[in-house]
Amino acid sequence: MKIAILSRSLSLYSTRRLKEAGEARGHTMKVIDYLRCYMNITSRNPQVIYQGEPLEGVDAVIPRIGASNTFYGTAVVRQFEMMEVFVANESQAISRSRDKLRCLQILSKRGIGLPVTGFAHSTKDIEGLIDIVGGAPLVIKLLEGTQGIGVVLTETNQAATSVIEAFRGLNANILVQEFIAEAKGADLRCFVIDGKVVTAMKRQGAPGEFRSNLHRGGNADKVKLTAEERSTALKAAKAMGLRVAGVDLLRSKHGPVIMEVNSSPGLEGIERATGIDVAGKVIEYLEKNAGGKNKDRIKY
């Protein structure tokens, strides 16, 4: 097969591993900088053009779209869909998961476990917003934040009010969530491919750090999920319409709760922590499904 990886750079670990895994299985792998693609949007003959040449004969696409480039990246993915090329994750699913508020609203509709979350526009409603999540300590998140950036833990209602006012003063949209203290700075990353959790790791934040992101000094180890945790991860990925996803869970006193559903989950941390060839499993998924139709039918 001819497989295109939409990524800004071959130097990125996940991109490199996917390319290596595909080539090891005999496929032609091409890394495409999606920001350098341009599109011919014409009736009956849509095209994606890269470096002056139409991308033709592509059997499958693996989108690795950065959060800051979601709008243009999903437009390129959508153009491949118009060309009836099979994509690992469809454009609508990527957009759905990238919008944190929309993601949480969909998950809540499906009855999937979440931290208590509040969202408001006016600073006049801060007191009520804080009350919704049970008061401090609580977590305040920028809707546009990634990799733990723009996430603040506030210990008192007064501190929470100050942070919310500051963010709203910058016209930033925020979520306010209950703080899951019993998680003790750890979360679970579940890697879902085609309706199965292929592996999972537990990420533990550095001492004194409530965020578990590995690039912030955290560490990771392979973990065995409970049946409920596995089911929650699968339901979350399905609710987003994602066939390849990283689902982040916290272990709370009322069961597993979803923190994020990632449409372009990194491979480095989870492959090193678990020893599982996740890149190879993504390629296996494409081998089984390329030639089939993209079929996102989710309502929201």
Residue with tokens 């992101």: 213
**Amino acid in the structure at residue 254:** H
- Peptide bond between residue 115 and the one before it cis (omega within 30 degrees of 0): no
**Amino acid in the structure at residue 250:** L
| 229 marked among binding-site residues | no
Distance CA 275, CA 221 (A): 10
| 89 marked among binding-site residues | no
| 187 marked among binding-site residues | yes
| 248 marked among binding-site residues | yes
| 178 marked among binding-site residues | yes
**Amino acid in the structure at residue 115:** P
Two structure tokens written together for 43: 């009736």
* Exposed / middle / buried, residue 245 (Cβ in 10 Å: 0-12, 13-18, 19+): buried
- Nearest of 254, 259, 99, 124 to residue 185 by alpha carbon: 259
| 213 marked among binding-site residues | yes
| 211 marked among binding-site residues | yes
Distance CA 280, CA 18 (A): 7
Backbone angles phi, psi at 171, to 5 degrees: 60, 30
* Binding site members for Mn(2+): 248, 260, 262
Binding residues: 141, 178-179, 187, 211-213, 248, 260, 262
Bind-site residues for Mg(2+): 248, 260, 262
Which residues are known binding-site members for ATP?
141, 178-179, 187, 211-213
